[in-house]
Structure 1
Amino acid sequence: MTQPSAQQGSSSEASLAEDGRHVYRLYVSSASPVSSRAIVNARVFFDAHLPGKHRLEVLDIASHVEAARGDQIVASPTLIRLLPLPRRQFIGDMSNTERLRSTLGLKPLDPV
């Protein structure tokens, strides 16, 4: 599980936003199978829908209590879209991709 710094509003996030990239933070509980599914589902989702245009931070709530408090996390797993603004939040294992896409404000995929 990746555990990068949970700094909010960092200059690296600002530069990613300028490049048109999306920045997400996924809060999980390392002891939860639902959180394990959420990590896999989120990575697959972003690789398919925003390839090369996103950054996903995965944070264990127990190890990042202050960051979770600052982001007002009340359930796990919770995905937060930090950039582009406005911030959006999705709670669950990320298995419902249409609901996830809608909640995050992403356009539907073009039919093949």
Structure 2
Amino acid sequence: MTEQPQEPEYDEDETYQLRLFITGASPNSTRAILNLKEICNQFLKDHYELEIIDVHQQPLIAQAEQIIALPMLIKKGPGAERRLIGDMSDREKVLRGLGLS
């Protein structure tokens, strides 16, 4: 019998607070948005809040968060703050960063 990969478990009472910093409609930004939404919809269902912040339109927020590379995802909670850089195409890296694997 073959084992089916199981979806990582999370506490359904917790809402993941996510901030994705992008640079306009660049290809990397577009990929990051699509990849992250796909991962969140599959693994977190309705238990996440995703704020997408364009650093050109909201530079003060980017400055306050000390954004050093883009696109960048910041997981504010639950748990410790985590930062991921890139287009979010490495699913395992994103899941680890969110604490889901």
| TM-score normalised according to structure 2 size | 0.83
Q: Distance in 2 between matches of 1:39 and 1:89?
A: 15
Greater Cα radius of gyration, structure 1 or 2: 2
Aligned-pair RMSD on alpha carbons?
1.0
- Higher percent of residues as helix: 1
1:61 aligned onto 2:74: no
Give 1:71's aligned residue. 65
In the other structure, the counterpart of 1:81 is 75
Moved over 3 A (4+): none
1:101 aligns with 2:91: no
Using the TM superposition, name which of 96-105 and 49-58 deviates more. Answer: 96-105
Deviation of the 1:31 alpha carbon: 4.1
TM-score normalised by the chain length of structure 1: 0.75
Q: Which has the higher contact order (CA 8 A, sep 6+)?
A: 2
Structure-2 residue corresponding to 1:44: 38
Flag structure 2 segments of 5+ consecutive residues without an equivalent: 1-12
Sequence identity percentage: 37
